[in-house]
A = this chain, B = another copy of it.
């Protein structure tokens, strides 16, 4: 975790991205802990809240994970009563997954906490640098 920085290694993009992710994960995990979820679970809640309540398979697709991985994530969230599975009446192979009322409240609070973690992650940058950082990151990642 805490590495004795060597100049050439720390100039590598791979090193920087890895450590950026580690730092943000630490901040996010701490910020979300009071709400009883972690970053991956927040991502699931966000995906369930956006657009039509999806099937498990669709939700996995939106997140870019396997449907078998989604099973375990939903098990944990359902155990906390944040989401509910119900069979799709029109295709009984599918489960429609929706947020519960508790899930919606938790999502709202967790979203705020996560945004605050992002703010702290970027706090060494000026506002315009922070905005620029987001823009550059999106350019590099999206619109492939």
Contact = CB atoms under 8 A, between A and B. Distances in A.
Interface of A: 1-10, 12-21, 23-25, 28, 39, 43, 46-47, 49-51, 61-65, 114, 118, 121-122, 124-125, 129, 132-134, 136-142
Given A9-B50, A125-B136, 10 more contacts: A3-B62, A6-B50, A6-B51, A9-B46, A12-B46, A17-B17, A17-B21, A17-B24, A20-B137, A133-B136
Q: Decide if the interface of chain A is mainly helix, strand, loop or mixed.
A: helix
A53 to B, nearest CB: 13
A29 to B, nearest CB: 10
A64 B2 contact: yes
A129 B136 contact: yes
15 contacts: A3-B64, A8-B50, A9-B63, A12-B46, A13-B122, A14-B21, A15-B43, A16-B138, A17-B21, A17-B24, A17-B137, A124-B140, A125-B136, A125-B139, A132-B132
